[in-house]
Structures are given as C-alpha cells and as structure tokens.
C-alpha cells in the first residue's frame, strides 16, 4: 500500500474550560523527523506524544502545533522586592529630612517606582487538559494519516500506469531483438557483395553474426528488468514503508536500461531505451513522495 509523505491533519477538542487545537504538516524527508510545539505546561507529555506519532509516521518530516485557549491556563502572582522597597522608603525619608520637605510620604509615592513590583506567571498542571490534548492529538494524527493514504492512492495509480507502459516498451524490445540479427546479416551480406562481387563466405558471415550477437546480447538485462518489475509491483501491495525499496529498485532498473542502450546497436531499441528512461525518471520523482 503506497502512503504519501505529504499531508495535513487538524483536530479540535473542547471542554468547559479549554479549547485545544492540534495541526500537523507532513513533508518529504529521507528519514523520520518528528517535531512538536506545545505550551510549557505540556512539556512533560511531549515524549508521550512523539511516541504516539511514531506509531503513525515511519518516514517524513512532521511538524505538530498545539494551541490552547480558555481560562485557568496561567496563574498570575504579584511579587514585591521588599528589600528594594525598604531602600526606596528610607531614601524618600532621607530626602525629606535633608531638604526640609513638608509633604508627607504616601503610598502612591512608592507605587510610582515599579522596579520592585513585578507580575509572575506560572502555568498550572491539569490532568484533564492533558487528556484533552492527547485526544485531539490522536484525532489530528488520524486525519493526517487519512490524507497521506489518499495521496498515496493517487501515487500508486500513477506508478502502476508507468509500470504498465514500461512493461509494454520492454516487450517491444524483446520482440524486436530477433529482427536485429536478421538486419545485421542483410547489411553484412550486402557489404561483402559490394567488396567481393557475388562471392559470399557463409562461414565468415556466421562468425561475424556470432560475434555481433554476443556483444549485443541483452537477454540477461531483459530478464533482470522483468524481475525488477515483479518486485516493484509486489512491494507496492505491502502494508509497510516501501519508499526506499522502490527507489532502490528504480536505480537497478535504470542501470539495466543503460546497459541495454550501450549494447544494442539498433536505432529502434535506442528509441525504446529513451522511452524507458523517461518512464523511470517520472517514477523516481513520484517515489520521492512515498513513505
């Protein structure tokens, strides 16, 4: 089963106090890279969430974003630096006495100086909120998985189409091979007659044909390509990550096609080789998206 590495998943879960939104974006990657951006109070369950992601994602780069809205997320507390406040108060008294100031020192005089007063924020731990996040996270994973599978079905359909075209071209080469030797024999006889008149040494012709046949023999390459095609088709049906395997098979197929192109001394086969290489290149581009 072909699964794409690209996709998007989103889920929203709500309670009386909170609204949790989880969004995931998946793109191509050689390996499996999982990233989660969460509020600070959820850091302790980040490993748990990544482990759940690894059950769904085997290859690709996935970024997950968790946002929380609602009440009670942050507790605020007023903090006073009493040592600094005492220093301000004593300094004000000193100034009043030194300069014989008549006005009294009031609270508002201290509150004008905000250096010793600050607001601290802390995020409360909340088991119910964590459970809500986990539920939304799994739903987003399911949504992402569904989209990756839908994209994978399109990739599989396209790959099978290219495989069918490749098989047809390979069959054309296979059926064309016997005619290559006949054409070579005809050309060879014609050249010999042009050089020697009507005298044709049959044994010499057979020797030359045997040498040509040995050099241009592509039967092994055709057999290996047929085997690779069977492996490729079988791999597509497996319920496991197959992207790397498909990429390797395509590399091997490309190697065999190049060998056929270098061996086959025939214009028609050269044209078939171009068609097969074009087909393999399209397949290779698609396989880069497969998990």
What residue spans define the domains of the chain? 7-72+125-148, 74-122, 153-287
- Higher confidence at residue 265 or residue 268? 268
Tell me the CATH architecture of domain 7-72+125-148.
2-Layer Sandwich (3.30)
Residue 23: pLDDT above 90?
A: yes
Question: 46-61 burial, b if ≥16 CB within 10 A, otherwise e?
Answer: eeebeebbeebbebbb
- Higher confidence at residue 111 or residue 55? 55
Residue 189: pLDDT above 60?
A: no
Banded model confidence at residue 190, pLDDT cuts 50, 70, 90: low
Residue 149: pLDDT above 90?
A: yes
16 exposure class (CB count in 10 Å sphere: 0-12, 13-18, 19+): exposed
Return the number of other C-beta atoms located less than 10 Å from residue 124's C-beta. 10
Between β-strands 60-70 and 32-37, what pairing exists: parallel, antiparallel or unpaired?
parallel
pLDDT tens by residue, 234-257 = 999 898 999 999 999 999 999 999
- Would you say how long the chain is, in residues? 291
Provide the pLDDT for residue 244. 93
Residue 33: pLDDT above 60?
A: yes
- Higher confidence at residue 27 or residue 87? 27
Mean pLDDT along residues 187-204:
61
Cα–Cα distances (Å) from 184 to 205, 209, 212, 216, 256, in that order, read 10, 7, 8, 11, 23
Mean pLDDT along residues 30-51:
90
CA dihedral 95, 101, 104, 109 (to 10 degrees): -50
CA dihedral 135, 140, 141, 146 (to 10 degrees): 130
Provide the pLDDT for residue 243. 94
The mean of the pLDDT values for the chain is 84
């Amino acid at each position: 089963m072909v699964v794409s590495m690209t996709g998007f998943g989103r889920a929203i879960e709500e309670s009386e106090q909170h609204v949790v939104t989880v969004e995931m974006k998946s793109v191509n990657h050689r390996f499996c890279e999982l990233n989660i951006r969460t509020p600070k109070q959820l850091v302790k369950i980040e490993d748990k969430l990544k482990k759940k992601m690894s059950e769904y994602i085997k290859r690709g780069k996935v970024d997950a974003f968790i946002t929380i809205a609602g009440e009670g997320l942050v507790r605020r507390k007023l903090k006073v630096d009493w040592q600094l406040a005492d220093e301000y108060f004593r300094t004000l008294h000193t100034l009043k006495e030194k300069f014989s100031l008549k006005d009294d020192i009031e609270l508002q005089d201290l509150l004008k100086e905000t250096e010793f007063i600050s607001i601290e924020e802390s995020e409360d731990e909340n088991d119910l909120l964590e459970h809500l996040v986990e539920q939304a996270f799994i739903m987003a994973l399911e949504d992402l998985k569904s989209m990756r599978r839908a994209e994978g079905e399109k990739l599989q359909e396209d790959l099978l189409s290219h495989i069918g075209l490749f098989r047809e071209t390979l069959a054309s080469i296979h059926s064309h091979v016997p005619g290559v030797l006949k054409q070579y024999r005809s050309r060879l006889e014609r050249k010999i007659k042009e050089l020697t008149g009507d005298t044709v040494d049959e044994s010499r012709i057979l020797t030359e044909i045997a040498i040509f046949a040995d050099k241009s023999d592509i039967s092994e390459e055709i057999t290996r390509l047929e085997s690779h095609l069977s492996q490729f088709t079988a791999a597509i049906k497996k319920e496991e990550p197959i992207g790397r395997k498909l990429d390797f098979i395509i590399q091997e197929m490309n190697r065999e096609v190049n060998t056929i192109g270098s061996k086959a001394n025939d214009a028609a086969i050269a044209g078939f080789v171009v068609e097969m290489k074009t087909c393999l290149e399209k397949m290779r581009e698609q396989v880069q998206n497969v998990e």
